[in-house]
Amino acid sequence: MTLYDPHCRRCARLAEFRDAVKTAHPHYACLPVPSFGPLDAPLLVVGLAPGLHGANASARPFTGDGAGPLLYATLTALGLAQRTPPVAASDAPSSIRADDGMRLVGCRITNAVKCLPPQNKPTPDEVRRCNAYLRAELDAASRVVLALGLVAHGAVLRALGLKQSAARFAHGARHALGEVVLYDSYHCSRYNQNTGRLSAAMLHEVFERAAREARGAQA
């Protein structure tokens, strides 16, 4: 079972793009981004891929980009994320640096594709090549999974050995897939937030349901 390979170059286009970005931004990590949170967490959140100036730079999922503040604020509100030392309730949870003291509790975050893709759009073949890492995550523990967006949803189905027709993506949908329960949410990207496709309340509601079921399954 291989969960992470910092030297992975399975996808030539992504590896070459990482190299080019590293030349332009030497202080960025520009590596496959590892998952964040305890491996045996009952809730696994699956995103799309690292952002150019976010996880690709910080080496932590959803850290340093426009999606991170909403995601980590939601996790913090539900007791799934904590800062050490604690911050005032009025302060927005930081997701700017990987050394900000943030830790996940009963939750783990990964991506369908671990490397930065050009225009934030991995190809279907790149999703397929990276799928073994997601499969290893799912093999590590039976759990509740929350997919952020259609690509993550499809990657979870592939990792479970299911056809894409096995479950249709829809925001707020719940799919019972054998030992895994899959919840769907629109991705918490800045674009979806700005266009009103996804609100903080919408994201909170899906995460609350998924977290409740994950905690119940763990009990």
160: helix, strand or coil? coil
Of 28-32, 57-61, 81-85, 212-216, give the lowest mean pLDDT range: 81-85
Pairing of strands 102-104, 43-47: unpaired
Mean pLDDT (the chain) is 93
Q: Which CATH architecture has domain 12-218?
A: 3-Layer(aba) Sandwich (3.40)
The per-residue pLDDT for range 149-162, each reduced to its tens digit, is 999 999 999 999 99
DSSP one-letter string for 114-131: SSPPGGG---HHHHHHHH
The per-residue pLDDT for range 116-150, each reduced to its tens digit, is 999 999 999 999 999 999 999 999 986 899 999 99
At residue 12, φ and ψ (nearest 5 deg) are: -60, -40
CB 75 within 8 A of CB 81: yes
Going from N- to C-terminal start, the domains of the chain cover 12-218
CB 79 within 8 A of CB 180: no
N-to-C CA span, the chain: 26
